Chain A
Amino acid sequence: MDMLQVSVWRGAASGEYRSYEVPRQESQSVLDVVTYIQRSIDPTLSYRFACRVGMCGACAMTVNGVARWTCRTHVAKVAKNNTLQIGPLANLPVIKDLVTDMREFFDKWARARGQFASGSGTTRKDGFARVAADSPERVAANAGIECIGCGVCYASCDVVSWNPDYLGPAALNRAWTLVNDVRDGARAERLAAVAGDAGCHACHTHLSCSERCPKNIAPTASIAGLKRAVALAAWKGEL
């Protein structure tokens, strides 16, 4: 039987990569590998997962230097010479081993005004809002609403690494979907929240987020949309 040489990050901000030998199987995912280590070799290994079928995003880790969902990453695709390196997601504080502190990720989501705000004067008694599915705004919003907040884009973004205040691709993508939601009532505040050095203008189109997003969302496109919307607002004196 082939054995995988797997080096896994152990520790927190400071720590080391420790090596484990894991039997190689057919159709094995990286999550299977991590689970095997924790159950059969070292029960002190900490890691996160939930659905294990590519729906929740909880199992996101850095595999051979690249952020991925480990449940959706076949070992055969990434293991070179039967070796694997597994670490926690980048750009986030490490709690222990493969588990990161996601609070700043979600804090930034809130800072980008990633919450729907109903328009003033609207009530539950009003009729349904009518939004054409093929309207340009709805198409733009739909392109980004499948985000499940897994953090892979945030971990892949170098601007996040270089600029601690940068809101990041996921938060900005969410803001864009709301900017395009014709029912939303907080457009002005949201545009103000996403403009600036910590916002959309810090994006330099590296496209790492769009390259890595497991749901094939292109946050870069959403951020470009925000740049245009913010510029227009500034031009009109509305920013």
Chain B
Amino acid sequence: MNNDYRSRNHPAWWAFLVHRLSGLALSVFLPFHFLALGQALQGEARLDTLLRWTEQPLVKFAEIVLVLLLAAHLTGGLRLLALEFLPWRGWQKTLLAWAAGAALAAGLAFALAL
């Protein structure tokens, strides 16, 4: 018999899911990022065109999502490194909370910077 959502309904499991899905999303995004960067770095005019394109609201929204994904994957990853290398115990749940908070903070900082 297999498990379902009821056995997975705890914070560490959500943290795993967020980490894996954000990693997947970032991996899919990366080639496009390299492509755009390659185009843009061919000259000032190209870069300015790209920067203007990114002013569009939908792109801005996508950028916020990307920064959130990046921040989530990074802080989740730091949490994993702590779990694997430091003598953690009961405070790993708090660690999860800090990871989530830091992710949100980064996303907000980016959003506010716009």
Q: Which residues from chain A sit less than 8 Å from chain B, CB to CB?
A: 9, 62, 64-67, 87-91, 94, 155-156, 158, 161, 204-208, 211-212, 218, 220-221, 224, 227-228
Given contacts A94-B1, A224-B84, A227-B84, contact A208 B10 (CB under 8 A): yes
Residue B7 at the chain A interface, CB threshold 8 Å: yes
Q: CB-CB < 8 A to A208: which residues of B? A: 7-8, 10, 12-13
Question: Min CB distance, A10 to chain B, in Å?
Answer: 13
Q: Is the CB of A224 within 8 A of B83?
A: yes
Q: Which 6 A-B pairs have the closest CB atoms?
A: A65-B6, A207-B12, A224-B84, A90-B1, A90-B3, A206-B16
Tell me which of B1, B12, B88, B89 has the highest count of chain A C-beta atoms within 10 A of its own C-beta. B1
Report whether over half of chain A's contact residues are helix, strand or loop; otherwise say mixed: mixed
Cα of A155 to Cα of B5 in the assembled complex, Å:
14
Q: CB-CB < 8 A to A228: which residues of B? A: 84-85
Q: Which residues from chain B sit less than 8 Å from chain A, CB to CB?
A: 1-8, 10, 12-13, 16, 20, 80, 83-85, 88-89, 92
Question: Min CB distance, A109 to chain B, in Å?
Answer: 21
Apart from the given pairs A90-B3, A158-B8, A224-B83, 4 other A-B contacts in the complex at a CB distance below 8 Å: A65-B4, A161-B2, A206-B13, A207-B12
Q: CB-CB < 8 A to B85: which residues of A? A: 224, 228
Nearest chain A residue, comparing its CB with the CB of B83: A205
Q: CB-CB < 8 A to B5: which residues of A? A: 65
Q: CB-CB < 8 A to B3: which residues of A? A: 65, 90-91, 155-156, 158, 161
Q: Is the CB of A66 within 8 A of B6?
A: yes
Question: Min CB distance, A147 to chain B, in Å?
Answer: 17
Q: Is the CB of B89 within 8 A of A205?
A: no
Cα of A163 to Cα of B84 in the assembled complex, Å:
21
Given contacts A90-B7, A224-B83, A228-B84, contact A207 B13 (CB under 8 A): yes
Cα of A157 to Cα of B74 in the assembled complex, Å:
24
Q: CB-CB < 8 A to A161: which residues of B? A: 2-3
Cα of A66 to Cα of B82 in the assembled complex, Å:
27
Q: CB-CB < 8 A to B84: which residues of A? A: 205, 224, 227-228
Q: CB-CB < 8 A to A94: which residues of B? A: 1
Looking at the complex, which one of B4, B8, B16 makes contact with A205 (CB distance below 8 Å)? B16
Q: CB-CB < 8 A to B80: which residues of A? A: 205
Q: CB-CB < 8 A to B6: which residues of A? A: 64-66
Q: Is the CB of A65 within 8 A of B7?
A: yes
Q: Is the CB of A90 within 8 A of B2?
A: yes
Cα of A228 to Cα of B16 in the assembled complex, Å:
20
Cα of A94 to Cα of B2 in the assembled complex, Å:
11
Q: Is the CB of A67 within 8 A of B7?
A: yes
Q: Is the CB of B1 within 8 A of A218?
A: no
Given contacts A218-B89, A221-B88, contact A207 B4 (CB under 8 A): no
Given contacts A65-B6, A218-B89, contact A204 B1 (CB under 8 A): no
Question: Min CB distance, A64 to chain B, in Å?
Answer: 6
19 sample A-B contacts, Cβ–Cβ < 8 Å, listed by A number? A90-B7, A91-B1, A94-B1, A156-B7, A158-B8, A158-B13, A204-B20, A205-B12, A205-B80, A205-B84, A206-B8, A207-B12, A207-B13, A212-B7, A218-B89, A220-B83, A221-B88, A224-B84, A228-B85
